Amino acid sequence: MILSATMIATCEGFGLAEKLGLAAQSYNHIAFVSSGKIWSMTTYSLVPGVGPDTPADHEYQGGFASALMISGP
């Protein structure tokens, strides 16, 4: 649940940066050197072409982690 919340906040940050005219890579760099540095930005980037190779770089094809986030009790 915490990871999902931080991923949502990360997406919102990238969306705001885009609306303000800031390139995704620039925003990513700023977050890396500030309090915005979190796992979902450093290891599992949600934006294509930013950070390591992730589903974002493959048209957001889901995998095991996606199934975990939507499964319930």
**How far apart are alpha carbons 8 and 26 in whole angstroms?**
19
- Provide the domain limits for residue 61: 2-70
Higher-confidence residue: 65 or 14?
14
Q: Can you give the CATH number for the domain in which 61 is found?
A: 1.10.1040.10
- If one counts the domains in the chain, the total is 1
- According to the model, what pLDDT value does residue 66 have? 65
- According to the model, what pLDDT value does residue 19 have? 97
**How far apart are alpha carbons 15 and 2 in whole angstroms?**
20
- pLDDT single digits (tens) 17-72: 999 999 999 998 998 898 888 887 788 888 888 878 888 888 887 666 666 767 66
- According to the model, what pLDDT value does residue 63 have? 66
Please tell me the pTM assigned to this model: 0.71
